[in-house]
Amino acid sequence: MPSVKKFQVTFDCADPVRVGRFWCEVLGYVPPAPPEGFDTWDDFDRSQAPEDRGSWFACGDPTGEGPRLFFQRVPEGKTVKNRVHLDVRVGTGLVGEERLAALESECARLVALGAVRGKLLLADEENESCQNMQDVEGNEFCLD
């Protein structure tokens, strides 16, 4: 059986460009080159019908290893907890105080970008510490 090696993560949101640019900063992702005939994505966006402007944004891992992220405008707001969320791996291999320091450092950086700090879950017998957070539109994610 063939196996899928590439996938895209899609976010429903009110402001795809704002949310997408936030995640570019979080992950070091970049938008693709603008379509042929356009110098920038802003130029492309201005060429669209008014109702389509800013309706989506895409970005990807510049190394090509991570999944593409796609952000699409939807009319409804977020009302409940995400059923799926991203774990941003900032503490891999770290334990104890060293892990907590890495989580805190990244948390502070992301709060400055507009993220909201959630509950810090401390290590127990089964799991290492992680920091719950929300992006600029309230989508939950973890610093792990």
Q: Are 110 and 56 in contact (CB under 8 A)?
A: no
* Shared domain check, 66 and 92: no
- Residue 39 belongs to a domain: yes
Q: What is the pLDDT of residue 50?
A: 94
**Entry field: residues in the chain:** 144
pTM (two decimals): 0.90
Per-residue confidence in pLDDT tens, the chain, 144 aa: 677 778 899 999 999 999 999 999 999 999 999 999 999 999 999 999 999 999 999 999 999 999 999 999 999 988 888 888 999 999 999 999 999 999 999 999 999 999 999 999 999 988 999 999 999 999 999 999
Whether 135 is in a domain gets the answer yes
Q: What residue type is 54 in one-letter code?
A: G
Q: Which of 25, 41, 73 is the last residue in one of the domains?
A: 73
How many structural domains does the chain have?
2
Residue 79 placed within a domain: no
Residue 57 and residue 22 in contact, taking contact as beta carbons nearer than 8 Å: no
Task: Count CB atoms within 10 A of the CB of residue 124.
Answer: 8
Contact 27, 61 (CB under 8 A): yes
**Do the domain assignments include residue 1?**
no
Residue where a domain terminates, one of 73, 100, 121: 73
- Parent domain of 101: 86-143
Q: Quick one: tokens of 61?
A: 């891992």
